[in-house]
Chains A and B, each alone.
Chain A
Amino acid sequence: MKDFYQHAAPTRVIAGRDLLGSTGFEFVKEGAARVFLVTDEVVRGTGLVEKAEAGLADGGLETAGVFDEVPQDSSTDVVDRCAAAAKEAGADSFLAVGGGSVMDTAKVADAVFTHGGSAREQEGFFLMPRGADGMGRPLDIAPLGCIPTTAGTGSEASMAAVIKDPGAQVKIEIVDFPLFPRLAILDPETTRTLPPLVAAATGMDAMTHAIEGYVSTQWNPHQDARSLQALRLIRENLERAVETPDDEDARGNMLIAANLAITIELGSVHAMSHPVGAVFGVPHGVANAIHLPHVIRFNAAGAPDIADRYGDLADVLGVEAGPDAGDALAEHVTELVARLGLPTRLSEVGVPESGIPQLVEGAIGDGTTLLNPREAGEDEYAALYRRAL
């Protein structure tokens, strides 16, 4: 067995149809009473927030307020405003209804709401307040529930949040156990109005989590089980969900796949995609879809045991791998991305060749670089970006 690994999945997940009406029934079990809803204008326009509010009322909970000012790429000032609004409203809990940006905003706002300070001051790895002189159990934050409206990020079941600091022009990461939401509700109703290209891009994000989690240096049997089952669901449901948005089964299974796939043990695909998003505004799922095949080829060529793990993934996806599993899997991913209608090259999404040095700098400084199964330095990242161009 491995010398060490750690797996935590404390979020209570409920999945199924017509669950929004029981939001209150479920959230009261997590200690919520006066709930502060966090969302964005687009989601609010779909009527989902009203359904969640009705569900809260049906379970005897009050809606203390609604904050719908979360932008696509949330920032520290938005988080601070959100936390202050929750305080002003006399809330005792948070419910996020939205995609990754909304959920991450709610997580960090909850930390600020509970422990004080500012969003900027929350940055850090495992640094939230704890007992036993900082070495004991982390102190709880207010009850947090999430209703994801995209099937990709998996933030509803992770202990990480990423928020932009516009002043410093960087993205700050906050990682600690209290950020695991207490409740996640996966209901296909929430992705019914998702535009097909967004469904495709977020689905590729989920696929990337599953693949990178399986081959990361921190791979482990618990994550293996989650990654492999996530890929089975993605194989059967991603294209269906994109091509036929009224296919409720496909949409529901993609929500479950994204929830299963999430991990913070990622690799060079994410290391490359984070700066592409930060510098050129390329949506995260699109960037992952572009980088994934190139990183698969690079990693699989690194060592036979890495190639073997890609071979496992190829099997699950029904790819005839032959002697070169990495190449076959990479080709399969490229074809899938094209069928989904997503771009396959960085040049298609506005990334110029002159931007590569800055992107390389960002990729090397990304924490996920250390988790990639094959060591990647400046030269390797520059070559990967050029191949993806």
Chain B
Amino acid sequence: MAYFKDADEVYAYIGRLFEELSEDEELAPKFRKANTIVQYQYRHPESQITVKLLDGEDGQVDFGETALKPEVVMTMDADTAHRFWLGDVNVTVALARGQMKAKGPVAKILKLVPLVKPVFPRYRTLLADAGRGDLLEAA
């Protein structure tokens, strides 16, 4: 069974994490150096998060339909995304196995991977603060 029961749960946790990162004074400028717009298309449940990471511009995170035109599209199960943010997914292995699929200039996203490692504890805290210890244990 999928970890998240519907798209709203995906947005409440994974989406919320993207919003926090977008507002983080230290991390946000580093992420925006990627200078791209990336869209995460999740399955089970169907959901979509689009993140604007453009150098010199304010960040933007859209849930569901968006007017942003993504340059990179990452497709995966929402479960895979959840386990990624818990630090349990090796991106290169996930790409090799087809658990994550990437369309567009993937290098722009891959360069962000080392930057997100310090974020993993924050996701755990976010889930714990929301009273979702079940999501921590489920992974």
Q: Which residues of A contact B (CB under 8 A)?
A: 4, 6, 123-127, 134-135, 170, 172-173, 217-218, 364-367, 369-371, 375, 377
Whether the Cβ atoms of A125 and B95 lie closer than 8 Å is: yes
| A-B CB contacts (within 8 Å), total count | 55
Q: Which residues of B contact A (CB under 8 A)?
A: 91-93, 95-98, 101-108, 110-111, 113-114
In whole angstroms, how far apart are the Cα atoms of A375 and B104 in the complex? 24
Whether the Cβ atoms of A127 and B105 lie closer than 8 Å is: no
Q: Give 17 pairs: A residue, B residue, CB < 8 Å, sorted on A.
A: A123-B105, A124-B102, A125-B101, A125-B102, A126-B95, A126-B98, A126-B101, A127-B101, A127-B102, A127-B103, A134-B101, A135-B98, A173-B106, A173-B107, A217-B92, A365-B110, A367-B92
In whole angstroms, how far apart are the Cα atoms of A170 and B36 in the complex? 14
With both chains docked as a complex, state the minimum distance between the C-beta of A305 and any C-beta of chain B, in angstroms.
17
**Chief secondary structure at chain A's binding surface:** loop
Whether the Cβ atoms of A125 and B106 lie closer than 8 Å is: yes
**Which 9 A/B pairs are nearest by Cβ-Cβ distance?**
A365-B107, A365-B111, A124-B103, A125-B102, A126-B98, A364-B111, A367-B110, A125-B95, A370-B92
Interface centre among B92, B107, B111 (most CB of A within 10 A): B107
Identity of the chain B residue whose Cβ is nearest the Cβ of A377 in the assembled complex: B114
With both chains docked as a complex, state the minimum distance between the C-beta of B21 and any C-beta of chain A, in angstroms.
19
Residues of A with C-beta under 8 A to B93: 4, 218
Whether the Cβ atoms of B106 and A367 lie closer than 8 Å is: yes
On whether A172 and B105 interact (CB within 8 A), knowing A6-B96, A364-B111, A370-B110, the answer reads: yes
Whether the Cβ atoms of A365 and B108 lie closer than 8 Å is: yes
Interface centre among A4, A170, A367, A369 (most CB of B within 10 A): A367
Residues of B with C-beta under 8 A to A126: 95-96, 98, 101-102
